[in-house]
Amino acid sequence: MDISFLTFALVLALAYANGTNDVSKAIATLVGSGVTNYRTAILWGTAWTVAGAGFAALVAGAMVKTFSNGLLQTGTLLSPTIALSILFGAMVWVFVASRTGLPVSTTHALTGAIVGTGLMAFAGEGLLWPAIGKKIALPLLLSPFLAFGLSLLLHPAMRWSAEKWGGACLCLMPASRALFTIDARRSTRILFQSTGFGQPIVAVPAQCDRAGLRGLAVGLDTIHWLSSGLASFARGTNDAPKIVAMLLLGSTTATWPSTWFQFAAFGGVAFAMGLGSYLGGLKVTEVLAEKVTRMDHAEGLTANLTTSTLVLCSGWLGLPVSTTHVSSSAIIGIGLLKGVNAVRWTTVRDMVLAWVITLPAAGGFAALAYVLFTSFS
- List Cα–Cα distances, 44 to 32, 38, 238, in angstroms: 15, 10, 18
Higher pLDDT, 337 or 41: 41
For the chain, the domain total comes to 2
Alpha-helix runs per DSSP H in the chain? 5-22, 24-32, 38-59, 61-68, 80-99, 106-122, 129-131, 138-164, 205-210, 220-244, 259-280, 282-290, 297-317, 323-337, 345-376
Residue 312 forms part of a structural domain: yes
365 within 8 A of 115, measured Cβ to Cβ = no
The string of pLDDT tens digits covering residues 209-251 is 555 555 555 667 888 898 899 889 988 988 898 899 888 875 5
Residues 252 and 106 reside in one and the same domain: yes
Q: Residue 104 pLDDT > 80, yes or no?
A: yes
Residues 43 and 86 reside in one and the same domain: yes
197 within 8 A of 175, measured Cβ to Cβ = yes
The string of pLDDT tens digits covering residues 153-191 is 888 888 877 676 655 555 555 544 554 444 445 554 555
Question: Among 4-8, 186-190, 336-340, which range has the highest average pLDDT?
Answer: 336-340
- Res 180: pLDDT: 46
Least confident of 93-102, 105-114, 130-139, 154-163: 130-139
Task: Spell out the residues 6+ positions from residue 157 whose beta carbon is closer than 8 angstroms to its own.
Answer: none
Residues 275 and 371 reside in one and the same domain: yes
Residue 357 forms part of a structural domain: yes
The string of pLDDT tens digits covering residues 246-271 is 888 755 555 677 888 888 889 999 99
Residue 235 forms part of a structural domain: yes
Tell me the pLDDT band of 3, cut-offs 50, 70 and 90: very low
Residues 264 and 316 reside in one and the same domain: yes
Residue 333 forms part of a structural domain: yes
The string of pLDDT tens digits covering residues 191-200 is 555 554 445 5
Residues 183 and 55 reside in one and the same domain: no
Residues 137 and 238 reside in one and the same domain: yes
Residues 187 and 108 reside in one and the same domain: no
Residues 235 and 293 reside in one and the same domain: yes
Residue 181 forms part of a structural domain: yes
Residues 178 and 287 reside in one and the same domain: no
User: What domain range includes position 120?
Assistant: 5-163+231-376
Smallest CA-to-CA distance from 373 within 93, 78, 130 is with: 78
Q: Residue 67 pLDDT > 80, yes or no?
A: no
Residues 180 and 120 reside in one and the same domain: no
Residues 156 and 178 reside in one and the same domain: no
Mean pLDDT within 19-24: 92
- Res 246: pLDDT: 84
245 within 8 A of 67, measured Cβ to Cβ = yes
Residue 153 forms part of a structural domain: yes
- Res 31: pLDDT: 93
Mean pLDDT within 2-29: 88
Residue 11 forms part of a structural domain: yes
- Res 284: pLDDT: 93
**d(Cα 167, Cα 208) in Å, to the nearest integer?**
11
pTM of this structure: 0.80
Four-point Cα dihedral 231, 280, 355, 296, nearest 10:
50
Strands 177-182 and 188-194: antiparallel
> What mean pLDDT, rounded, does the chain reach?
79
- Res 160: pLDDT: 78
Residues 205 and 122 reside in one and the same domain: no
Residue 225 forms part of a structural domain: no
- Res 377: pLDDT: 66
